[in-house]
Amino acid sequence: MTKPDLAKRPDDVSSMFDRVSRGYDLTNDVLSLGVTPYWRMRARRAIDPHPGQQVLDVACGTGTVTRILADHGSTVTGLDFSHGMIEEAIKRHGDHPNITFQQGDATQLPFDDNTFDVTTVSFGIRNVQEPKRALAEMLRVTKPGGKILVCEFSHPTNGLVNFGYDTYMNVLMPGIVKLVSSDPEAYDYLFNTIQAWPEQATFASWLREVGYEQVAHRNLTYGIVALHRGTKPAA
Ligand SMILES: C[S@@+](CC[C@H](N)C(=O)[O-])C[C@H]1O[C@@H](n2cnc3c(N)ncnc32)[C@H](O)[C@@H]1O
Torsion sign over Cα 26, 27, 28, 32: positive
> Alpha-carbon distance 219 to 42, whole Å?
10
Asked whether 128 lines ligand 1 (CB < 6 A), one says: yes
**Which pLDDT belongs to residue 177?**
81
Give which of 155, 151, 156 is closest to 227, Cα–Cα: 151
Asked whether 82 lines ligand 1 (CB < 6 A), one says: yes
Domains of the chain: residue spans and CATH: 10-231 (3.40.50.150)
Please list the rounded mean pLDDT of every run of 10 residues in the chain (235 residues).
82 91 87 93 98 98 98 98 97 98 98 98 97 98 98 95 90 84 79 94 98 98 97 93
pTM, to two decimals:
0.96
**Which pLDDT belongs to residue 129?**
96
**Which pLDDT belongs to residue 60?**
98
**Which pLDDT belongs to residue 4?**
83
CA of 14, closest atom in ligand 1: 25
**Which pLDDT belongs to residue 64?**
98
Asked whether 138 lines ligand 1 (CB < 6 A), one says: no
**Which pLDDT belongs to residue 142?**
98
Secondary structure (H, E, C), 24-58: HHHHHHHHCCCCHHHHHHHHHHHHCCCCCCEEEEE
**Which pLDDT belongs to residue 174?**
83
List of long-range contacts for 96-101, beta carbons under 8 Å, 24+ apart: 96/67, 96/70, 96/71, 98/70, 98/73, 98/74, 99/63, 99/66, 99/67, 99/70, 100/76, 101/60, 101/63, 101/66, 101/77
> Alpha-carbon distance 74 to 51, whole Å?
5
> Alpha-carbon distance 211 to 165, whole Å?
33
DSSP 22: T
CA of 106, closest atom in ligand 1: 20
